[in-house]
Structure formats: C-alpha cells, structure tokens
Amino acid sequence: MVEITDVVCPLCGCVCDDIVVEVEDNRVTKVRGACAVGKSKLMGHGRIKSPAIRVNGALKECSYDEAIKKAAEILAGARRPLLYGWSSTVCEATKLGVCLAEEIGAVIDNTASVCHGPSVLAIQDVGLPSCTLGEVKNRASLIIYWGANPTAAHGNHMKRYSYIAKGYFLPGGKKDKKLVVVDVRETKTAKMADKFIQVEPGKDYLVLSALRAVLYGHEDVVPDNVGGVSKEDILEVANMMKEAPFGIIFFGMGVTQSRGRHNNIINAIQVTRAAHTHTKFNIMPMRGHYNVTGFNQVCTWETGFPFAVDLSRGFAWYNPGETSSTDLLIRRECDAALIIASDPGAHFPGESIKHLSKIPVIQIDPFANPTTEFADVVIPTAVSGVEAEGSVYRMDGIPLRLRKLVDTDYLSDEEVIQAILEEVRAIKSKEGE
C-alpha cells in the first residue's frame, strides 16, 4: 500500500488539494478528506470499456486507432463542426482543442455556455471585484450564498474556504462569521444560515435592486415587499454588508440560469460595488466542474475570448447567442460535434439535443452518460487527476496541477486530441495534394 498526500481532487470548482489517498495494486482503495462526490470519483466507478463506433444503430467495439481515424474523418469533412465540453479535463487538452478548432474552422465552446456563461457576459459589462478563496477564509466575516447550495454541490467549500474555515483574522471560524443565504427554497445550506432570505422564483433581480438602492442610501424608494422579501429583511442584510469589514457574495446557477440571467449577475456585481463604498466587498461565481475556469482561461489567452469562439473565418469570432453551442444546434447549423468531458445529452435544451442526435457525434470521456446514447464514435480516456496529470484552475482562478495516482491503459484526453489533430492534418494535407 502506498499513501499519497496532497492529492488534488478532480471533481468540482473547489479543487481541494489536501486529499490523502491510499493505493494498492494500482487501485485507489481509500480516500480521506474529500467530500462524498469527490471520493466516489477518486475511487473510480463504471468506465467505458473500449473505443467504439456506431454501426447500424449499435455501438461496436474497435481499436483506438480505428476510432481516432473515424473521428478525424468526420471532423475533417465537416463544414460547421462544434468542439464542446472541456470542463472536466486538463488545460493541456484544451490547448490542443484550440489547435484542432483552428485547423478545421470549428466553433469551440465549453459548459460555461449553459452554466456561468451569463456571469462572463456580466463581467464583460461591469467587471468583477473578487479575490482568492484564502482571502475569504482569512478575512470574510460575512458570507452570502445566493442561488447556490454548497452543501450539495461543493461539499468542502464552507469547511475549506468560507463559513466554517478558521482564518488569520477570524480564528474562531464560524463563531466569528455570519452566513446569509438567499434562495427560492430552504436548502440544507439555508438551514445553517444566520439569516435566510427566501425569494420568489425569478425575482432575484428585484431583490438585488432593492439591496443596491439601500446601499446607495435610497431606502425610501424600496417598497414594503420585494420579490417576496420584506423591507426589514432587506435593510437587515444591507446593514450586515455595511458593517462587515470584509464580505463576499458567492452566487450559483440559481441566479445565472433563472429569469434575468446575466442581468441578475450585473445587478449582483453592482450590489458588490455599492457595498464597496462602505467596506470591502467581493463577489465570486461558484464554478461547477473542476476545470470549467481553466477552459475559459486557456481559450481567452489563446483566442482572446473565453467561450463560444468561432474559428471558421480563420480568426476568432466571439458572439454568444450566435456562436454558443445551444444556439448553433437549435439553428441546426452544426453538421458534426466533438463532445469531450461533459454531457450535453443530459444538460442541453431538448431542441439542441434533437439536432445533436441527428449529426455525427464523437464522444471523448472516461464515463458513459446520456450523450453516449447517441454518440457515433466513443473514445474512452484516462481519468484526469487519477490516471493522468495536468493543469487546472480553481473557481477563483488559482492554477493547480492534478496528480497521477495510478497507471492505466487508457489514453489521456491530451493524447486522444493530439492523435485526432495529427490525423486531421494528414487528411487535409492529402486533400491539399
């Protein structure tokens, strides 16, 4: 048995890096310090056994070479290919993905398109006053979760970084801190809160506006009830914000994907700016996948733009709504798609999935998921962070390196994309002749 310490967890945007893992006979046998979901991922479960190509409606196992060749043929022959996913793989794979997109004039996009894409649009409008998670741990005496439920989605977030964490200026941990939760229902996180604000579904924008008005000194314009929240509650939260020497709003998909979308986030950032006129205030999106942030980073430094980048013109064209995956699919523009490290089959709107199921789809993933049901080429890969190493970015932009814990016969995402890229280049150069 070998004990490996300081293991970096490849599950959610928390990217906990203090996990202890025991390995025996090239298998992870014990995991300490991870949340239940992270532990399950590190321990390993149901894998796609072999590369496969769909023949007469059924997936037929084949070699890596055959699957890669088939994938390259599909992509090289496509007029409007989409390369989507990337949020549960390492930056090294994404870099090759951008190369591939340039090579075949594809649209490259990640899962932000259907989760925190609206947050990106908001940041492009007003910016983002934020900080690293260690700042929150050491200084934040007020923590607000808005439309986010970390007890379910980010298991260690409160313990490692926020409400429960002990910090330099807050040695008592939660004794020294206040927790406010704003949500449409009383979640498990809400039950822990010093103050729970239950907002009517779709009314977050109104409550944010009221809070902003109060923080700018205009409480007289706020009615007695805003989106199901009483004026007293709004005044109370505003006061808590003003009085905290350092505060933060963590927001989740409860605000990015409900009515108002990016407008909610613009408003939430404006609330942060308003609070900043009184004290130190920050705001941070609760990014889901462990490297959804990393894709946006790599895509930005390589193409200039964070997601939904169309390279069909030879230069990068960014126009979410036009170049974002679900919109492309709803318009039935794409004639082929490569889906990596994600599951649009489960998460995209029905109209998009309908078109996706009709075009050739290449899936690269360690695990089967609903997308596998209609994929035409399935290429299983190593689990990054367990069987392959690489670079990832935590939700606060901190870069960490995933470790390799055990050996595998599976190719890594990086190796598969590299092989497809080489095969595509070979096809193209033959065509050129």
List interacting residues with another protein (CB under 8 A).
Answer: 5-6, 8, 17-18, 91, 95, 102, 120, 123-135, 137-139, 160-161, 166-169, 245-246, 273, 276, 279-280, 282, 296-298, 300-306, 311, 313-318, 391, 393, 397-401
Complex with another protein: residue 9 or 52, whichever CB lies closer: 9
**Residue 366 Cβ vs another protein, minimum distance, rounded to whole Å:** 22
Shortest CB 104 distance to another protein, Å: 12
- Taking the complex as a whole, the smallest distance from the CB of residue 282 to another protein amounts, in Å, to 8
**Of the two residues 140 and 329, which places its CB atom closer to another protein in the complex?**
140
Could you tell me which of 318, 351, 346, 317 has the C-alpha nearest to residue 334?
351
311 or 406: CB nearest another protein: 311
Nearest-approach distance from CB 345 to another protein, in angstroms: 29
Rounded CA-CA distance 83/65 in Å is 20
- Distance, in Å, from the CA atom of 124 to the CA atom of 296, rounded to the nearest integer, reads 13
The token pair at 209 is: 């506006």
- What whole-number distance in Å separates Cα of residue 297 and Cα of residue 206? 32
Contacts of 13 (CB under 8 A, 6+ apart): 154, 286, 287, 288, 289, 290, 292, 293, 394, 395
Residues 251 and 174: their CA atoms lie apart, in Å, by 20
Q: Which is nearer to another protein, 14 or 368 (CB)?
A: 14
CB of 172: closest distance to another protein in angstroms? 13
Nearer to another protein, 18 or 333 (CB): 18
Q: Given the complex with another protein, which of 86 and 348 has the nearer CB atom?
A: 86
CB-nearer residue toward another protein: 131 or 361: 131
The nearest distance, CB 302 to another protein, in angstroms, is 6
Q: Judge contact between 93 and 408, C-beta under 8 A.
A: no
DSSP of 153-173: HSTTHHHHTSSS---SS-TTG
Residue 114 or 395: which CB sits closer to another protein?
395
Per-residue DSSP letter, 367? S
The encoded tokens of residue 419 equal 């092989």
We find the least distance from the C-beta atom of residue 33 to another protein, in angstroms, to be: 11
- Could you tell me if 255 and 227 are in contact, meaning their C-beta atoms sit under 8 angstroms apart? no
Measured CA to CA, the distance from residue 267 to residue 261 in angstroms comes to 10
Q: Within 31-82, where are the H helices?
A: 36-43, 64-77
Q: Where does 277-383 have alpha helices with state H?
A: 292-303, 325-330, 344-347, 350-356
Give the integer Cα–Cα distance in Å for 386 and 27.
Answer: 10
Smallest gap from residue 17 Cβ to another protein (A): 5
**By C-alpha distance, which of 339, 342, 343, 384 is closest to 362?**
339
Query: Based on CB atoms, which residue is closest to another protein, 33 or 254?
Result: 33
Nearest alpha carbon to residue 239 among 194, 286, 192: 194
Cβ 292 to another protein shortest distance, Å: 14
